[in-house]
Amino acid sequence: MSGREAWPGRPFPLGATWDGEGTNFSLFSEHGERVELCLFDGAGAEERIDVRAQTAHIWHCYLPGVGPGQRYGYRVHGPYDPGAGHRFNPFKLLLDPYAKAIEGSVDWSGASVLPYVPDPDNPDADLESDDEDSAPAMPRCVVVDPRFDWEDDRPPNHRWSDVVIYETHVKGFTKLAPHVPEPLRGTYAGLASDEALAYLTDLGVTAIELLPVHQIVDESFLAERGLTNYWGYSSIGYLAPHALYARADDGGEALREFKGMVKALHRAGIEVILDVVYNHTAEGNHLGPMLSFKGVDNASYYRLVPDDPRHYMDFTGTGNSLNPVHPSVLRLIMDSLRYWVAECHVDGFRFDLASALARELYDVDRLSAFFDTIHQDPILSQVKLIAEPWDVGPGGYQVGNFPVLWSEWNGIYRDTVRDFWRGQATVGEFAARLTGSSDLYQADGRDPFASINFVTAHDGFTLRDLVSYNDKHNEANLEDNRDGTDDNRSWNCGVEGPTRDAEVNALRLRQQRNFLATLMLSIGTPMLLGGDEFGRTQGGNNNAWCQDNEISWFSWDLDDDQRALLAFAKRLIALRREHPTFRRTRFLAGADADDDGLPDAWWFRPDGRRMTQHDWTRDDGRVVGVFLNGDRLQEVDERGREIRDDSFVLLVNAHFEDVEFRLPGARFGAAWVGELSTADPGEPPGARRLAARDPVVVASRSILVLRRAEEG
């Protein structure tokens, strides 16, 4: 035991809090019987201090003279009784659930971090505790100095209607970037470099959605295979930025560097959205490691099977589910969210498997305590909230069912758009997604931006692979290609994988442009998977979660086709930014006409006549036109002035043959000019001019965008 002076301290705030003279340590454990605070010096020697003071199941003490840079952890004593849901084991060093910095990673060969002695021949091995000290294998928590010079940092606070999201990975985005200084590649500082910021601003995105940056722990079986959890959906520290994304793994550096990245992105006008994983942790099921929550208070932190608390409820497919029904676990989630907003200035969150958080018992409850608490919070109710509206439990697919204030990854949009461009969805289904998915979001009072429209995301094929592969090719994951979904809704354009066939490659490029154009011209909030703008490939791997290598890292050595695709993507994003017609904040009414008799949107067939019910639903329907009225946006600017814009016609042909359209009558517009064609991306705006009722050929599998010309 230690002879160090320890004062009682305070229960709040939880975690380690330095006040300039010493540090207060505070840990919640409702069922623990004794808590030891473990301090480590630079050589790794451990000093243990009994934490004696308790307030409402919170153990706390204050250590004068202890400050930033101090490494620490906990050991919690109590019953090891898995049958009752308790797995206390003081031989296992534990991370502080509220640690703001964590140094190092788990050394799976350094010592056993399992709370029991593994025995593959004994299915009940976890019922007996292990007495091997895990400290040699464990990372260390670090006391931090929270001070940071934010200067005049202000959140960009973009209106949802102006948002274009770019989903990417902190490391992968710059790891191979020759334009980023070598020491910064793959780090928070690399993403904040002038070169990276210039690329993002030139592309035109307004928000960057980062794959998980909470402290990550790789699964032991990945270490055995020489792989790592690249995506990072294996959180263990909800207030600590992942240390391995910092230039130096010295504990506090990651926090300082993360804040600097946010400040730099804000200065460039780019919001920061974090992908957060509050549904499960890295500790797995009853046979998983003991790293933090399992040893601090297993029965409180996790959802256990009610009549068999030895085992875990698993709504996530990872072995466990956090228990937000418990007030202290809900408090941890809320404290984490508030910390990232208030102290790290992030602008919003995308909640992984959000349906798991909404489960009060077994059912998904859209009015659960989690949502109620966020909606009442003066900080969190004001940031951008995005749900991944599904989990793997019963009734977990909840697209369209989240409350007001929430936007959702619209998986139905993704599936329909993919199907349409491979000839397996009707024009009616396509039109519903193009116009904001009002069938999903309008009835409960939400706006079009509630739909986060995406065609691809980190999970699945990249856009280039979507048009190059019919089947997954995940051999590098070392699971005999069994992992990853088989429901890709992809089309390889006739050849599986890379080919020298010029016609196939041309079609693949056109299909990529079709997807990008659909995404940027759809009502709702577009999310672009990083790298899709220039045709990044993962070689057909649709589940690259464990590929921290060239499979996942962005290759910036672009060929001519990739540079042309990038230029086209920039043009599309600029078109969306310049024209509120494509950024409507109200759903289309269609039949409601203005004083001139023109509706806000009018759909028509290739012969220029209005679509009929039969046209919408026919199985072979692959062609549709739509007039979008820029004079009927029903919107005002921030000063209350009416917003008007150009009117457009979109001619969409997903058929394998060219189709001749006839333009609408003169009441919609006497003259039209070409704005953009996915079949001829090099055609400049205004290069073609057409009159009302003129015929125009739209190439097979392409979109032609026309803008109404000024009269006279």
Q: Which is catalytic among the residues 388, 600, 645, 646?
A: 388
- What is the rounded distance in angstroms from the CA atom of residue 347 to the CA atom of residue 701? 38
Return the ∠ at Cα 409 (arms to 388 and 443), rounded to 5°.
Answer: 105
CA dihedral 409, 411, 414, 419 (to 10 degrees): -170
Backbone angles phi, psi at 242, to 5 degrees: -55, 120
Contacts (Cβ under 8 Å, ≥6 apart) of 157: 271, 347
- Is 214 within 8 Å of 352 (Cβ atoms)? no
Residue 38 β-bridge partners:
48, 73
- What is the rounded distance in angstroms from the CA atom of residue 379 to the CA atom of residue 335? 11
Count the helices and strands in the chain (H runs, E runs): 16, 31
Q: Which is catalytic among the residues 352, 465, 615, 646?
A: 352
Q: Which of 156, 91, 168 is nearest to 128 (CA)?
A: 91
Query: Exposure string (b/e) for 658-690, b if CB count within 10 Å is 16 or more?
Result: ebebbbbeeebbebbbbbbbbbebeeeeeebeb
Contacts (Cβ under 8 Å, ≥6 apart) of 42: none
- What is the rounded distance in angstroms from the CA atom of residue 137 to the CA atom of residue 92? 10
Give me 342's structure tokens: 């208030």
What SS3 class is residue 684? coil
Told to judge if 283 belongs to the known catalytic residues of this protein, a careful annotator would answer: no
- What is the rounded distance in angstroms from the CA atom of residue 469 to the CA atom of residue 297? 46
Which ranges constitute the DSSP H helices of 399-527? Answer: 411-421, 427-434, 438-441, 463-466, 502-521
Beta strands in 277-334 (DSSP E): 304-305, 308-312
Told to judge if 388 belongs to the known catalytic residues of this protein, a careful annotator would answer: yes
Residue 686 β-bridge partners:
none
- What is the rounded distance in angstroms from the CA atom of residue 543 to the CA atom of residue 483? 7
Q: Which residues are catalytic?
A: 352, 388
